[in-house]
Chain A
Amino acid sequence: MQLYLPIADLPVNVFLVLAMGAAVGFVSGMFGIGGGFLMTPLLIFIGITPAVAVASVASHIAASSFSGALSYWRRRAIDPALASVLLCGGVTGTTLGVWTFTQLRALGQLDLMIALSYVVLLTTVGSLMFSEGLRALMRTRRGALPPRRTHNWIHGLPLKMRFKRSKIYLSVIPVVIVGIVIGFIGAIMGIGGGFILVPIMIYLLRVPTSTVIGTSMVLTVVTMLFATMLHAATNHLVDAVLALILMVGGVTGAQFGARAGQKIRGEQLRLLLGLLILSVGIRFAIELVIQPSDLFTIRELGVSR
């Protein structure tokens, strides 16, 4: 069944988009991430312009993260204090990100920046995650204990605050900075940033695993909702019809993914996720290096009627 997408301005097959949403939802449920880094490239691949893809995926991630966050909230696995400090940074970062997005679009370098950020971020995070997962897997094979966590330089920073539910005593400076960075790249790349945020919170901020995913989901929901608003108000690029199809597919797929994820061991999950992230990054890198089929592109700057 063909459906015309009003903002993306092209007809798509509803079932194809629904299946894409479900597939990405499955992966996101399995790894406990938003899945934006998979959804945005897939949309670009079926012919939707990167700008519309980034803006529309934001609302899709917001929906799937919100359903996740609600269930974590019921299990009291969200740290409200930590979430609000993260959000201060997140909202600032998103505003900066959408502003940069608008500027880059006017300069005609948006598509390039999206592709470059994907290459840099995904190959780095992907290889780090992959190697970490590999090491962890080797350790369990040898039956060794995981290395003990020690305090790092971050815990020496001023402006400390007690986060009761997470049972940590931490400076707000790194938390706000993490929020800004995640909000910024999220708005530009159309990703929730969960796959970067969770490792940062675990390894750098030493947030316990009991609250880390739920709290990171709260940040994702709010920054993505905010990004949707800003993209809609300034760039008029959010395709609500596309977003709705993705949401429906995504939230359904996520439920099955979550069940599948519980059957796989943590190290193997991280290894798989690392591999997945790495391959998306490499795919973008190849695209940048090979010669495009057409060197010229046209963009309409609004029809005067």
Chain B
Amino acid sequence: MRRMLLAIVIVLLLGGAAQAERLIVSVSNHRVTVTPNYSGEELVLFGSVEKDATTPADRTAYDLVVTVMGPRADMVTRRKERTFGIWINTDYRQFLQVPSYLALFANRPLDAITSPEIARRQQIGLNNVLLTQRVSGDFADVVPNDAFRSAFIRLRTQRGLYREDGSAVTFLTPTLFRTGIPLPAEVPIGTYEVEIKLFANGAFIGKTETAFEIVKVGFEQFVATTARQNGLIYGLATVAMALMTGWMASIVFRKD
């Protein structure tokens, strides 16, 4: 099965642009199902760097950066300030279509892989990933040390939804690599894009992409979907449930 997948990937990649190196990757599971008692899981991404005739002979040490991006969503970050002695949400920033899950993995510290300028262009590191904000009618990302931006990243990191790890990718041989993609219990459902970027001696030399999907199954998911899509019916059902419970209780505990 795995071999077949690999073969398909190879065929697909052969049709791609001719580059000095080719990246061949696959994830251990393209469809993750989250059940009610799901408490986190780890996907494995593995692949290899394929050299061809045009590859310079002295190029042996590769660096890899794997970026996993979950479904995009609009989010609001709010800041509390003390006003009249109590803490009130005063200021806010809206983040537009930012990944709900974001993980950056590499084989060594991200700032050691390439120059700051290439890192910025290739969005290497949480500080360099594009997080578009609405700034007074304009859409732009801000400087990495912006209070709202860093608070946003900090809060997402605390929940395990944003992460950066400079030692998660391991090279099994000089060209064969693997990395784990941890998916916490509260992982958002949807399509996840995986981007693998290859660097050699600080220069960006190529990338490839893959994807996987996270779906929730079970009764809880059914309830959540119904609540969002058929609010009125859901409300009626809840009301009926409340009346039934109340009525049952008055029958069960009837004194006379």
A contact residues vs B (CB 8 Å cutoff): 2-7, 9-11, 59-60, 62-71, 74, 108-109, 111-112, 116, 221, 224-225, 228-234, 236, 238, 240-241, 243-244, 247-248, 251-252, 254-255, 288-289, 291-292, 294-305
* A70–B188 CB distance below 8 A: no
From B256, which residue of chain A is reached at the shortest CB distance? Answer: A74
Residue B199 is within 8 A (CB to CB) of chain A in the complex: no
Q: Give the residues in chain B near A230, CB-CB below 8 Å.
A: 235
Q: Give the residues in chain B near A244, CB-CB below 8 Å.
A: 241, 245
Residue B140 is within 8 A (CB to CB) of chain A in the complex: no
Question: How many B residues have CB within 8 A of the partner chain?
Answer: 61
Task: Scan residues 139-195 of chain B and give those whose CB is less than 8 A from a CB of chain A.
Answer: 148, 151-152, 154-156, 185-186, 188-191
Bound together, the chains give a CA A243 to CA B74 distance in angstroms of: 29
Residue B136 is within 8 A (CB to CB) of chain A in the complex: no
* B242–A66 CB distance below 8 A: yes
B218-246 vs A: 1/0 string, CB under 8 Å?
A: 00110110011001101111110111011
Bound together, the chains give a CA A59 to CA B245 distance in angstroms of: 10
Bound together, the chains give a CA A205 to CA B56 distance in angstroms of: 93
Bound together, the chains give a CA A289 to CA B239 distance in angstroms of: 37
12 contacts between A and B (CB under 8 A): A6-B227, A62-B239, A62-B246, A70-B250, A229-B232, A232-B227, A236-B231, A243-B242, A251-B249, A295-B79, A295-B151, A298-B75
* B246–A64 CB distance below 8 A: yes
Interface SS, A side? helix
From A221, which residue of chain B is reached at the shortest CB distance? Answer: B246
Q: Give the residues in chain B near A71, CB-CB below 8 Å.
A: 250, 254-255
Q: Give the residues in chain A near B155, CB-CB below 8 Å.
A: 294, 296-298
Residue B19 is within 8 A (CB to CB) of chain A in the complex: no
* B238–A59 CB distance below 8 A: yes
* B152–A59 CB distance below 8 A: no
* A6–B224 CB distance below 8 A: yes
Bound together, the chains give a CA A27 to CA B254 distance in angstroms of: 19
Complex A-B, nearest 10 residue pairs according to Cβ-Cβ distance, in ascending order: A232-B235, A66-B246, A251-B249, A296-B151, A6-B224, A67-B249, A67-B246, A63-B242, A70-B250, A233-B231
- Interface locus among B1-9, B10-18, B60-68, B81-89: B81-89
Bound together, the chains give a CA A192 to CA B219 distance in angstroms of: 29
* B234–A240 CB distance below 8 A: yes
Contact of B152 among A11, A60, A298 (CB under 8 A): A298
* B246–A6 CB distance below 8 A: no
Bound together, the chains give a CA A59 to CA B151 distance in angstroms of: 36
* A299–B86 CB distance below 8 A: no
* B246–A70 CB distance below 8 A: yes
Q: Give the residues in chain A near B234, CB-CB below 8 Å.
A: 232, 236, 238, 240
B81-113 vs A: 1/0 string, CB under 8 Å?
A: 110011111001000010010000000000000
Bound together, the chains give a CA A109 to CA B228 distance in angstroms of: 23
Bound together, the chains give a CA A75 to CA B26 distance in angstroms of: 71
Given contacts A228-B235, A240-B241, A298-B156, contact A108 B92 (CB under 8 A): yes
Contact of B238 among A234, A238, A305 (CB under 8 A): A238
- Expressed in whole angstroms, the minimum distance between the Cβ of A72 and any Cβ of chain B is 10
Given contacts A228-B235, A233-B231, contact A302 B249 (CB under 8 A): no
Residue B47 is within 8 A (CB to CB) of chain A in the complex: no
Given contacts A7-B227, A11-B185, A251-B246, contact A299 B78 (CB under 8 A): yes
- Expressed in whole angstroms, the minimum distance between the Cβ of B250 and any Cβ of chain A is 4
Residue B77 is within 8 A (CB to CB) of chain A in the complex: yes
Bound together, the chains give a CA A198 to CA B128 distance in angstroms of: 60
Residue B205 is within 8 A (CB to CB) of chain A in the complex: no
* A7–B223 CB distance below 8 A: yes
Which among B82, B189, B242, B250 has the greatest number of chain A C-beta atoms within 10 A? B242
